[in-house]
A and B are shown apart, each in its own frame.
Chain A
Amino acid sequence: MHPGMTRREWMERLAAVAGAAVAPPLRGAEAPVSPVVVAKCASYGAELRPTLARMFDQLGGLRRLVTGKTVAIKVNLTGSPDQRLGRLPNERTYWTHPAVIGTTIHLMGLAGAKRIRILESPWATAEPLEDYMLAANWEPRDLANAAPRVEFENTNYLGRGKAYVRMMTPHGGHIFRGFDLNHSYADCDVFVSIAKLKEHATTGVTLSMKNCFGITPCTIYGDGAGVQEPGLVPRGGRGPIHFGNRQPSASALAENDPTSPREAGYRVPRVVADLAAARPIHLAIIDGIESINRGEGAWIRGVSPVQPRVLIAGLNAVCTDAVAMAVMGFDPMADRGAPPFERCDSTLRLAEELGVGSRDLSRIEVIGARVEQVRFDFRKSWNQAQSLAAAGWPQHSWSAPRNG
């Protein structure tokens, strides 16, 4: 470090040099591809374990991926643990189901994972992740006991680390050249995103990449972040990422271009793509057995429960999300203006430009069930949901805003 230069100035200088050397955006044809496995799965019961085991085998086996490794698993527990869509537990609507998480942990343990860390950034709290799960009426011990050496960490703040870890975005990033994250996202050999198959009010879809929006600590990127240094504990949501109304704490890298549009449909897909490039996902798993349509959580007006009864997994997040979009009845090559991106840019296209992976189905090998065999058209379900309500499923219309 240059004498007289603060650590932050030094890091910024370093990042600027790296940014100047970035390559121009990649074309889709240049982005890497990897097979994606699709499987029918009717419930979270007995069929789940053999289905997931078979899917992992079809991807080349977990041993190759996790033996002797530290695995970090980002799950999706968005919103608040006491908020539900009607009377349904969150795992049956918009949270990753603990059976999917637990079975994955168990299979990774059998495959020889050295340590498995479950990660999430719970809404506006520094309480332990286990307590957050308890508040949702989950039993975190079931997850802890699913394999040897399972840990939990709330990554919405510094957590158990001594410092935040800076992870740089290849090609300079769309919005951020790099991110300061909880140590768990760097202290791992394998990073796994276990997401939910659902739409998203801001980004069109919530899949394995959008799940990782929540890896940003609100102590730095949130409404209540410190101005100079990170806050001690997270307060509020990620409004600044949505709307650009303020910059992250000055200890982190500022936006590349503070004059860029302050519109969530422009910003959030870009930040998600940046994150997918900065913190690559080695294994993407999408829980589509039960979910909701129209949005990402109970706070979105008109959301209803749906049962696509499908699991999707892959070793490339963009490819996996592209196949998942096709399963949902969307064209993964769609962009702003076309469903599901009526009011936003395509995260998949933006991640593709950063070289994360291809969204071109003609280049992606789909293993297991064919897309047309398992397709669950989310937009058609908007009407079906009303029939479900008539048949006794709850219908809901909350509209309280909540970032997540």
Chain B
Amino acid sequence: MSYDPQALAPLRWPLSWTDAGMLDLISGCRINCLLFERADEAPQIRAAAERAGIHVALMSEVAAAALSDLRWNSEASIVAVTDARWPGVRLRKGERAANAGPTGAAWIDANGWLARLVRAKAPSKALWLAFKPGDNEYALRPNAYLLAIAEAGVYGARWPITLDPGFAKALSLRDAAAAAHWRRMMQTLDFFEQRRAVRDLPPAAGLGAISDFAGPNQFTAAEFLNLAARRNLLYRVLDKAGEPNLAGLHAAIYLDQEPAPERWRAALQKFAEDGGLVIAQAVSGLQGAKPAPCDLPGYQMWSAGAGRIAIPVKDWQDPWVTAAETQALVGRRRDPVRLFNPGGLNLYVQADHRRMIVHLINYALSRPGDEKTIAPSGRYSSARFVTIGAEPRPVAITRREKVNDELALPPFEVYAAVELQK
């Protein structure tokens, strides 16, 4: 049976579901693909599913691998990344408060950076974030499944829904609470499947993050993406293997610990001379004309035409520090949007010339996303607040003189978006 890999919404069939009647659970839902671990597993169920027009596959048929092992030039139409993490604010066992990260803020396990990286490396392929319950301690908390589905949906990926044994058993016993939660999961999936087209809107960012994200560069470059996202430092992922495209950016960071390929070196040099800011280690080979002032300790700034090149005095060691330094170098004036009271939220922003979509993902599962305010750059005439399980509604734009307008957002649980129109 032929299928469109981009359209597959998968469920890993639980081993404990031996009754084909469990297929009723996905009847009328967006799930259209069942994944099995073994070829000899549940033949009756697989046959019944195929008769119902549901795609059936083995996990081994999907090109599932850790990021470092992915073969970008393979012919597989689906990329399944196995080292994605169950999203959420990290808690230690027995702790009520969230673990603090280097910033003192809560430490968030998030996959947005990973999804964006894979989509930049393999834009034509379907992306699955393949993590399972039990990968960490908060998988089974309320709303955890909703967050897992939502996070993948925001970044144009999918999570092959994978149920923990207890939840799977409760569903098979037709437990009312489990069934209600399953309905909410399907509602969340439906929400993002309906909004699938949004994935193609370009990310709003002034910073380009350049690397091959491979080999010795992978850890540092990937961690930079992860930790920059945590600071709400918005970026566009630029694959060094591709052609340079720095249009629309005002800053670029070359993350790799090796000379930039000639076409990238030339493009970055011109980008700087045209007024952009380039951040790169000395090994990149990028050079400015003469020293320029720099307030940030540990950096030598060079002027290059109308722009600047910032070079760290010592090679980067800690991606968190690199992300913080990059934010300080790039500055805040041209941030596409400011978010107040971010708490356990991550921000993802997409925009074109007439609209901006601000995605807010609440990783703090135990707390609602309340008292959030956003301040988008630019003037918008209208805005609507979109969240799962509710009709979109207008949200007032408070005009402010000389600074960004502000929008006070209603409370939400796992995910909300603000759609702004010029």
Contact = CB atoms under 8 A, between A and B. Distances in A.
A131 B295 contact: no
Interface stretch (B31-39, B275-283, B326-334): B326-334
A151 to B, nearest CB: 11
Interface string A49-60: 000000000000
Interface string A82-104: 11101100000000000000000
Interface in B84-112: 102-104
Contact of B403 (A84, A87, A137, A232): A137
A84 B340 contact: yes
B30 interface: no
Contacts of B328: 125-128, 131
B338 A124 contact: no
A30 interface: no
A232 B332 contact: no
A87 B371 contact: yes
A139 B331 contact: no
B340 A128 contact: no
A127 B321 CA distance: 12
A159 interface: yes
A128 B333 CA distance: 11
Contacts of B331: 127-128, 131, 134
Interface residues of B, number: 30
Chain B contact residues: helix, strand, loop or mixed: loop
A394 B373 CA distance: 13
Nearest to A141: B402
B400 interface: yes
Contact of A83 (B103, B295, B341, B400): B341
A158 B297 contact: yes
A100 B375 CA distance: 23
Q: How large is the interface on A (under 10, 10 to 19, 20 to 34, 35 or more residues)?
A: 20 to 34
A382 interface: no
Given A127-B327, A128-B328, A232-B298, A137 B333 contact: no
A339 B203 CA distance: 53
A8 interface: no
A142 B402 contact: yes
B406 A137 contact: yes
Contacts of B298: 232-233
B371 A86 contact: yes
A236 interface: yes
Contacts of A235: 102
B338 A137 contact: yes
A334 B398 CA distance: 44
Interface string A111-146: 000000000000011111001101101110010000
Nearest to A219: B297
A233 to B, nearest CB: 6
A158 B325 CA distance: 16
Contacts of B373: 84, 87
A185 to B, nearest CB: 17
Nearest to B400: A137
A312 to B, nearest CB: 27
B369 interface: no
A265 B94 CA distance: 31
B241 interface: no
B339 interface: yes
Contacts of B400: 137
A139 B402 CA distance: 7
B300 interface: no
B397 to A, nearest CB: 14
Contacts of A128: 295, 328, 331
Nearest to B404: A137
Nearest to B106: A400
Interface in B306-355: 324-325, 327-328, 331-333, 335, 338-342
Interface string B186-209: 000000000000000000000000
B405 to A, nearest CB: 9
Given A82-B341, A137-B404, A138-B403, A126 B104 contact: no
Contacts of B408: 87
Contacts of B341: 82-84
B25 interface: no
B104 A124 contact: yes
B296 A131 contact: no
B105 to A, nearest CB: 9
A159 B104 contact: no
A139 B403 contact: yes
Interface string B96-133: 00000011100000000000000000000000000000
A157 B340 CA distance: 26
A86 B404 CA distance: 18
B332 A131 contact: yes
A160 interface: yes
A334 B194 CA distance: 64
A322 B339 CA distance: 38
B297 A83 contact: no
Interface in B389-422: 400, 402-404, 406, 408
A235 B327 CA distance: 15
A18 B340 CA distance: 48
A232 B295 CA distance: 12
A124 B295 CA distance: 15
Contact of B339 (A82, A142, A154, A236): A82
Contacts of B404: 137
A154 B325 CA distance: 15
Contacts of A237: 104
Q: Which of A135, A158, A232, A237 has the most CB of B within 10 A?
A: A135
A135 B338 contact: yes
Contacts of A232: 297-298
A134 B333 contact: yes
Given A84-B373, A137-B375, A138-B403, A126 B296 contact: yes
A127 to B, nearest CB: 4
A82 B338 CA distance: 8
A344 B297 CA distance: 37
A169 B339 CA distance: 41
Interface string B70-86: 00000000000000000
Given A87-B340, A137-B403, A157-B297, 18 more contacts: A82-B341, A87-B408, A125-B324, A126-B297, A126-B328, A127-B327, A127-B331, A128-B331, A137-B340, A137-B400, A137-B404, A138-B403, A142-B402, A232-B297, A232-B298, A233-B324, A237-B104, A396-B371
Interface of B: 102-104, 232, 295-298, 324-325, 327-328, 331-333, 335, 338-342, 371, 373, 375, 400, 402-404, 406, 408
Interface of A: 82-84, 86-87, 124-128, 131-132, 134-135, 137-139, 142, 154, 157-160, 232-233, 235-237, 394, 396, 402
19 contacts: A82-B339, A82-B341, A84-B340, A86-B371, A124-B103, A125-B328, A126-B296, A127-B331, A131-B328, A134-B333, A135-B335, A135-B338, A137-B338, A137-B406, A159-B295, A232-B297, A233-B298, A233-B324, A233-B325
Closest 5 CB pairs of A and B: A127-B328, A134-B332, A131-B332, A232-B297, A139-B402
